[in-house]
Amino acid sequence: MEKDKVRQLIKSYEETYIFVTRQLHDAIAEQILGKQGISFEQFLVLRYLAEHGESSPNDLATALSMHKSAITAKINRLFEKYLVHRMKNVEDKRGIRLTVTDNGEKVYQACEQKLEELVSNWLEILARKTANNF
Q: What pLDDT does residue 97 have? A: 93
Give residue-wise pLDDT tens across range 15-26: 777 777 777 677
Give the mean pLDDT of 2-8: 84
Give residue-wise pLDDT tens across range 46-79: 999 999 999 999 999 999 999 999 999 999 999 9
What pTM did the predictor assign? Answer: 0.72
User: Which CATH code is given to the segment(s) 3-133?
Assistant: 1.10.10.10
As a whole number of angstroms, the distance between CA 132 and CA 134 comes to: 6
Nearest to 113 by CA among 54, 36, 20: 36
Phi then psi for 114, rounded to 5 degrees?
A: -65, -40
**CB contact at 8 A, 46 and 84:** yes
Q: What pLDDT does residue 48 have? A: 96
Kindly tell me if the per-residue pLDDT of 130 is higher than 80.
Answer: no
As a whole number of angstroms, the distance between CA 109 and CA 88 comes to: 26
